[in-house]
Structure 1
Amino acid sequence: MKKIITIEDKLQWTNYIKRALHYDFYHTWYYHSLDKTGFPILFVYEENQNFIAFPLLKRNIPGSDFFDFTSVYGYTGPISNLDFKVLEDDFMEGFKASFIEYLQTGQNVTVFSRLHPFFDQERLMGKFSGVHANGKTVAIDLTTTIEEQRSVYRKSVKEKIRRLRKRDYLVKVSNDISDARIFADIYIENMQRVGAKEYYFFSESYFVNLLASDEFDSKLFLVYKDGEPISGAVVVCTDEIMQVHLLATKTKYLNESPAKLLTDEITVIGRQLGYKYFNLGGGVNFKEDNLFGWKMGFSKLCFEFNSWRYIANNDLYNSLLEEKAIDNTANIDFFPLYRNPVMA
């Protein structure tokens, strides 16, 4: 049996998420309610008491009567009340058939979803075509001792953290919701400096609401120097995982690298709260770039990060490419190709 739960039905959406064996805050009703780039749905396939739930954003394809699906920013993909490692083949095939049937009921062209590096979703999505290797994410294992963790830090990271502590840089967890404005200002300055797309310029209310949500535990960490907040991070804790959702540092303090001290202090709090992993994420667009190298300075533990790229209607997909004079054999890492702004 399948059902489509829309964003208007918070109770049902939340019920399935809470029943899942593993989930992340990216799957929650609240996080999807923040996204205005599409219409959020939760596709649910159920057999008896067991289910697979798949959150997606449905979007109209500009200039057409067609639709496609994508995922929210972050790590999503399907979740279940069962472990993906032991899902029975018949159950997975039932999900596949049901989801394909749903796609065929409308003018739906493609589906793109980021998958979660911790949840073994590839075993299920491998039933379809389109699992794509995107790169790696870096994580810190919080089940080790803090001494073991710090022993693998890159030498320059250890030295920088030592100097920051010596110079009285302090990390605090804020319990004051009004501090969201402080972080918002730091974050917006950071986005302006790097020339980020408009999509990443979140309002102050975004941070306030994120920190106030009762569906997951969000924490605001701030780094202070001589009483001035100069860096910070919104860290979201769900299930066994904590991860930095957003991190920023004031431009004038970038050379001091306060984010290194911040990262180390977050792991101390994480251990106290009983989390197993601190997910640092990957590089920009999940490339092994300078950002990825920065994160590898803390840990050599990496998880594979994949996406699912599925063409539901080849005829419609090819017609959209033809309209834009796009070669469908082009070796370009972007999906779906008809949404590539460079080729528009």
Structure 2
Amino acid sequence: MHAYQIPLEEAENIYYGMPDSCQLPTLHPLYVAADASRDDRLQPIFWYSHENNGKFLYSFHLCETKLEKNLIIRDIESPYGYGSPLTNTRDSSFLEGVRREFQNWAQANKILAHFARIHPLANHPTHFYEKVDFNRSTVFINLKGHLFDDYSGRRRTYIRRESEKIHELVKVEDANNFSAFIKLYEETMRRASARDFYFFKEKYYENLYKLSFVECWLLHDEHSIVAGALILVSHASKIIEYHLGAHTIRSKSRPMIYLLHLLARHYQKEGFEIFYLGGGRSTSKDDSLLLFKRGFSSNLIPFNIGFSIYNHDHYESLKSLRPGQDTTILFYRD
């Protein structure tokens, strides 16, 4: 078995050689590389293993965190959204060999921990991690059926009412309109009192905008822009993923509802089959964002997190120095 790091260009070629169903947008090596620009500590890594006809590609971030006394902790994390290895086989012998090779690589590179937000739509070998836990339910729209059949009654009523008004759905094709989306997104996050994690550097937006499979949309009413969204697109898998959204506040209007409906209708006409919306802000089944998304679909799919600790003694010693701060896997970063 061969296992080693590879450059981005080679990772991109391997990605396109995987089965169509594996080619999820947030697992694209170019997306992982672009995502690294949101935090100076992140380094995109592309790790590849193969034997006979079996192939295994994993694109992730290596992060270095400086603690007191010049202590540097190295760990692995998924990009923003989701991260999963891609493989063209379910051969258990091959996948077990890959798991051992990756563990050896991680230990040789002094990686302390590995935290993965496993893509719900990925055909994923979960035994790749030391432990996998259910985190929350997520939502997707089946674009192969009639959209209104799965919308809630109130959602259908609202969309019919909005369709009688003047709206224009515009695909962003220039930097000025993309800047308008960024401004609207940041206003939306400030209004929601969002954590710093949800505010991005200018370079992050620039790198996303350059990707051919990232599409930005704006919804205009008769006066101004009222909503916008960034959508990640895979023609191979026929899957689109909702990435970022933004909207204005209107007393009698919820513009994101109509925008998401128009996007679902547009991509349905383009031949896509799944519109993945994601989950809520929390793990609660009553999370308001989750309930909003469920208004579009009853299709739920579990989102799991996976993690491995490669140096248990060191990890436990860090936990003992930070009592009460070990509620997350990568607790020492904060």
When normalised by structure 1's length, the TM-score is 0.87
Shift of 1:178: 2.7
What is the Cα deviation at residue 284 of structure 1? 0.3
Name the counterpart of 1:221: 217
Cross-structure match for 1:318: 316
Q: 1:208 to 1:61 in 2, by over 3 A?
A: closer
Give me the whole-angstrom Cα distance separating, in 2, the residues matched to 1:327 and 1:206: 29
Whether 1:272 and 2:266 are equivalent positions in the alignment is: no
The equivalent residue for 2:256 is 259
The change in CA–CA distance for 1:305 and 1:112 in structure 2 (over 3 A counts) is: same
**AA at the equivalent of 2:230:** V
Q: Are the equivalent residues in 1 in contact too, given 2:137–2:300 (CA < 8 A)?
A: yes
Matching of residue 81 in structure 1 with residue 81 in structure 2:
no
Q: Are 1:106 and 2:109 an aligned pair?
A: yes
The one of the two structures with greater contact order (alpha-carbon pairs below 8 A, sep at least 6) is 2
- The letter for the 1-side match of 2:23 is Y
Q: What letter matches 2:88 in structure 1?
A: N
Task: Find the residue that maps to 1:157 and give its secondary structure.
Answer: helix
Alignment of 1:5-44 (within 5 A): 5=6, 9-21=7-19, 22-34=22-34, 35=36, 36=39, 37-44=41-48
Matched, 1:129 2:130: yes
Cα distance between partner residues in 1 of 2:312 and 2:251: 48
- Matching residue of 1:58: 62
In the TM superposition, residue 177 of structure 1 has moved relative to its aligned partner by 4.0
Distance 2:302 2:50 in 1: 28
Higher deviation after alignment, 29-38 or 264-273? 29-38
How far off its partner does 1:140 sit? Answer: 0.5
SS at match of 1:284: coil
The percentage of aligned residue pairs carrying the same residue is 24
1:78 partner letter: P
Cα pair distance change 1:33/1:117, threshold 3 Å: same
Deviations 1:209-264 (A, max 9, x none): 423323xx22222111114111111111113211211111013x264011111111
Matches within 5 A, 1:147-158: 149-158=147-156
In structure 1, C-alpha distance between the alignment counterparts of 2:299 and 2:200, rounded to whole Å = 31
Pair 61,218 (structure 1): closer, same or farther in 2 beyond 3 Å? closer
Deviation at 1:78, TM superposition (A): 0.6
Within the candidate set 288, 304, 307, 2:305 is matched to: 307
**2:170–2:217 Cα contact (<8 Å) kept:** yes
| Matched residue type, 2:118 | L
TM-score by length of 2: 0.89
Q: Distance in 1 between matches of 2:158 and 2:325?
A: 49
User: 1:130 Cα shift?
Assistant: 0.9
Q: CA deviation at 1:68?
A: 1.1
What is the aligned partner in structure 2 of residue 72 from structure 1? 79
- Using the alignment, how far apart are the partners of 1:141 and 1:298 within structure 2? 10
Q: Deviations over 1:112-157 (max 9, x none)?
A: 0111111231xx222542111111110011111x3xx202211211
Deviation at 1:104, TM superposition (A): 1.7
- Contact 1:181–1:204 at 8 Å: present in 2 too? no
Give the whole-Å Cα distance in 1 for the aligned partners of 2:99 and 2:136: 25
The amino acid across from 2:96 in the alignment is E
- CA distance, structure 2, for counterparts of residue 326 and residue 106 of structure 1: 28
Q: C-alpha displacement at 1:290, in angstroms?
A: 0.7
Shift of 1:14: 1.0
- Does structure 2 retain, via aligned residues, the 8 Å contact 1:139–1:299? yes
Deviations 1:176-221 (A, max 9, x none): 443101111111111111122233223555444423323xx22222
Q: Which moved more, 1:167-176 or 1:90-99?
A: 167-176
CA contact (8 A) 2:155 2:296 kept: yes
Residue equivalent to 1:335: 329
Gaps of 5+ in 1: none
Q: After alignment, is 101-110 or 168-177 more displaced?
A: 168-177
Residue aligning to 2:230: 234
Number of matched pairs: 321
Letter in 2 for 1:250: T
Q: CA deviation at 1:338?
A: 3.1
- Answer whether contact 1:136 1:304 (CA < 8 A) is retained: yes
* C-alpha spacing 1:227/1:174, structure 2 compared with 1 (3 Å): farther
- The 8 Å contact of residues 187 and 247 in structure 1, kept in 2 or not, is answered as yes
CA distance 1:208–1:326, change in 2 (3 Å): closer
CA distance in 1, matches of 2:283, 2:85: 20
